[in-house]
Amino acid sequence: MAFAVLSLLITRDSRKNTEDFARKTFFRKYESVENEFKNIEDYQYLLRALIQKDGLKNYKDYSAVLNDLNKKRNLLAYSWYYSYDEASGKSESNSSLSDIFKKNGNIEQSVPLKNNGSGHFKDLLITRKDSIYWMSYDSLVLPGKNRLYYGSTVNLDDLHQYFINVDKNSNTYAYVFTKEGICITHPEKKYLGKSIFDFTDIKAKDTVCSTTRSGYTQSTAVSEYLGVEVTRFIKPLTTDNFDGYTVVNHVNFIIDENIYKVKTYTVYIFLAALFLIVTVFILFQRAANIAYKEKEKIQSEKNLLLIENEKMHKAEVINQLQQLKNNINPHFLFNSLNSLYMLIGINKENAQKFTMNLSRIYRYLIVPPKENIVPVSQEINFIRQYMDLLKSRFDEELSFELVINDQKSLEKRIPYLSLQIVTENAIKHNIATIDQPLQIIISVEKNGIIVKNTWQPKTETVQGEKFGIDYLTQIYEYFRINSLNISVDGEYFICFLPLME
């Protein structure tokens, strides 16, 4: 997981760095395009200044010098002029491209470019001999109503080649289109003069850059030139004499290639670390197996001792239960026979019922269950019969109430004779008279049975005190249940007997 997160973070940072590089390349490319357009514009302003100063007097010489200078400083524009004398019908020019201004010239071969700038030069795209030229021109009326056309012309193929040579190392290419969408530079010659909305997926909304803080839009597209995915930047290109947009496309497979390398290195590191971890794990596992076998041998011997100890503990608990039964049975039988003797003389029907309950109770006492645990329902039935016998002995001196708050608890289990022990303990250690009747309440809850009786202890010491409670404590410990709880709360002595599944 750590290597996966690390790979994700490195990939994200690598992509971000590459995108930052692409953005810087875009700005560098854009600046080179913008500077060249401004150079062309400055050249046009220089031509205008020369024409307005001397007309055609020295313009031919100036133009030749400027064109030679342009070749040396890699400025692509070169100047031309065309003059027409209406009186004589003669014309003069220094470029065949200026034929467009002759009457009946090849005007159909030119495409005007709209221009709302302050430079007042007009722009045309002219096609001649499989080449496209960008012509900017202005006119001047000379004395004698002669008209002079002058300006500069740029071969669009040369212009694009110039932009390529400016930044050869970047993985980008740029092109420029006018505000109406006419492409004036592009590495694919066939797209020159065409509408970029026809051969690219650029939409008009992609040119809305004024609302963005950075002044440009950035998106991912498929290159119409290379046929691969590119990051496309579009930014307005506005000068005094041009209003359009520059598009710079940065090839994305360079970005993806760098990210792929990062992922590959991360995978190598992951595999090496995984191999190291597995090797350490195998060595550790071998050492652990040896230690485990030794520990298992010791644990096996310890378990044998624990089993023997549990057998002895169980035998002790069973012996205590037998001792309890031996103590309960004679005492309980003696009291029950006295009560039966009195009932025979008073109410023969109750005496018969008493004898039947007594027989059922002794059947329950004589045949103990396996492991000394019984269903709660069985113990509840027994305690009802047992309390009926006690009621026959104590009458109004004893009050008994059974409340079942959770029926599902009747399906759980409880130690054998636990209710009888707690009930007998209450009768044995508390005063029970008509004036102070002993109240016993048994409540079956979700997790246990609550047995509480009124707290009115006898003053004299009772023989065999805590024998029954000690038995319950031991049998719960035998089953590893430590939630047996005995307490005195106000007027009541409370014993909580936890249930077992």
**Token pair recorded at residue 349:** 């029907």
pLDDT on residue 107: 46
Q: Provide mean pLDDT across the span 64-93.
A: 73
- Give the separation between CA 427 and CA 384, rounded to whole angstroms: 15
Q: Provide mean pLDDT across the span 464-491.
A: 78
Share of the chain above pLDDT 90, in %: 14
Q: Provide mean pLDDT across the span 248-277.
A: 77
Element (H, E) at 132: strand 131-142
pLDDT on residue 467: 67
Please check the confidence at residue 425 and state whether its pLDDT lies above 50: yes
pLDDT, one tens digit per residue, over 113-164 is: 877 677 778 888 888 777 888 888 888 777 766 777 888 888 888 888 777 7
Query: 239-248, 250-259, 401-410: which has the minimum mean pLDDT?
Result: 250-259
User: Over the chain, what is the mean pLDDT?
Assistant: 80
pTM equals: 0.48
pLDDT on residue 418: 87
Residues ≥6 apart with Cβ < 8 Å to 10: 262, 266
Q: What is the CB-side half-sphere exposure of residue 177 using CA atoms within 13 A?
A: 24
Check residues 31 and 87 and name the one with the higher pLDDT. 31
Phi, psi of 114 (to 5 degrees): -70, 145
pLDDT on residue 104: 44
Query: 45-54, 108-117, 216-225, 379-388: which has the minimum mean pLDDT?
Result: 108-117
* DSSP string for 233-300: EEEEEE-SS-EEEEEEEEEHHHHHHHHHHHHHHHHHHHHHHHHHHHHHHHHHHHHHHHHHHHHHHHHH
The top-level CATH class assigned to 347-498 is alpha beta
Please check the confidence at residue 303 and state whether its pLDDT lies above 50: yes
> Residue 265: which pLDDT band, with cuts at 50, 70 and 90?
confident
Q: 39 near 75, Cβ under 8 Å? A: yes
pLDDT, one tens digit per residue, over 317-368 is: 666 666 655 555 566 667 677 777 777 877 777 778 778 878 888 787 777 7
Q: Provide mean pLDDT across the span 202-228.
A: 80
- Give the separation between CA 171 and CA 226, rounded to whole angstroms: 12
Residue ranges matching CATH 3.30.565.10 in the chain: 347-498
